[in-house]
Structure 1
Amino acid sequence: MSKRYFTVSLLMGSIKLNRLITLLKEDLKFLLSIALGIYLFLLFFQPIPFDQFDFNNRLLFAAGFVGIIFFFQVLIRGLLRSFLPLSRFSKDELLMFSYSGIFLITTLSSLAIAFYLRYVGSVTITFHLVFKVIFICLVLPVLSTIYDAFSSLKKRLEQEIQEKENMQKEIRHYQEGYQNQSIELISVHQADHLNVLVVDLLLLRSADNYVEIIYREGSKLKKKLIRNTLKAIEQQINSFSGFVRCHRTSIVNVFHIEKLNHEGNSYWLKMKNMDEPVPVSRQYLLKIKEVISVMG
């Protein structure tokens, strides 16, 4: 039992260590670039007194200063991210986690640098100097937190783009079979009717006591009036999900929408192979935008 427990513990530790190494590799380039910026800042602006050193020792002393900040940043950041299940945290908990990480890294690195300055550099510790040390130590964890936020946002955006592409593929696949189905539109007394393929039907529009049907026949655009209400015709096409109302007078085939145009508060649709604009009321505007977004 103890041997099995030891083996499982060793395996879990190995997995976490590999995860830690992977995370460090992803962040190393960014962290090193920020550390180099801090190093150059120390050399050129000299916020820390380096007068007691010659040029070569000044370079080494500044490198040690930055090395302490870099060490605590990599250590604490890597350990927290590899051993804590961040995916289970809420947004508020993640925000608190980020602030706690900044505080922990800044505190430990500031204390370590204070001892480094006093016992390695023989620098007199003053309140003004401590303030500058804390400010410098804050730079790396704060920029790392901002970097994490942008990286998370980028991954989320890429995921949403991928989901949208997958949805568009499913729609195209569905469209191939869907648009070859036939629709029968019947007048109010069943005295007149029209059979048309979904792929050929562009627009249904109210016209007094009639419904104007705009459809394709071959390469030509045709119109037919059927005596009925638009509401009744809408019920006849309920089983076909490719139609959406854009105005109280109009229902369009979403696969024939080319573009949504607007001027001021007025919106209208440009339909494929049709010059006449189709009005869009504000009541149905959001739905039309969603449909266009999904259709790409």
Structure 2
Amino acid sequence: MHDDARVPIDTSVPHSARVWDYWLGGKENYPVDREAGDAVLRFLPGIATSAKQDRAFLGRAVRFVVAEGVRQFLDLGTGLPTVDNTHEVAQRVAPDARIVYVDNDPLVLLHARALLHSSPQGRCDYVQADIRDTGTVLDRAARTLDLTRPVGLMLLGVLNHILDDDEARRVVAGILEVLAPGSFLVISHTCDATTDELDGEAMRGAVRTVMERGGTPICARSPERIEGFFAGTRLLDPGVVSCSRWRPEPSPWREAEVPHFCGVGVLSEPV
């Protein structure tokens, strides 16, 4: 499908997807990524837990959307394949689910085949594109998805790489305006909230560390700014919260907050 030999991989600077992979305990990372990841850990010792809670949120959100009858997903800013990708979670419950992954990262392109092991009843596809080019994204996604029917739109850990709020909102709105009523918007985002359990200054220090080392730019936003991305949808309970606290599995204890917040909205009417 792709000519992997032509994919350029720069291992001289840290890469956000590889650093995230390192925090998740993966193997698709290099010394420069581990060094950057460790530098961030000095500011945010719980960031590896945050990465795992974000992945757990993905699983709960996908299962919720499938339970609501949705059988197709558009996953923007896919990142490196790891345990329980969107299609694996969805097709475990609904084998006929269809998933389109979108990313502009050549490293993700290199691993695209790992993403495309669909169930026989369903289908997976991978689109190499910048999510800001919503026209291209939608045109290519329509080869696999029926956009006249509800879609689960996944934006996990990707809007924080679009530094301008207006541009990030345009990306979300540009996709939503084409999706059918009954579609769901699922977002997770680096958060700079200061609460009893989160130190906003620590997050800002971590962001500076990544930027100074030449990593992918990151913008941590407040819960209120993250909530703004759900304009045009009905934000479901419990709203925009820590990934650890979005409809967690039953547990005798309350999970600590992590500096990655999330929410799920439903598109009741066309935007």
Radius of gyration: which is bigger?
A: 1
TM-score range, shorter chain: under 0.3
Using structure 2 for the length normalisation, give the TM-score.
0.26
- Which structure is higher in helix share? 1
- Which structure is higher in strand share? 1
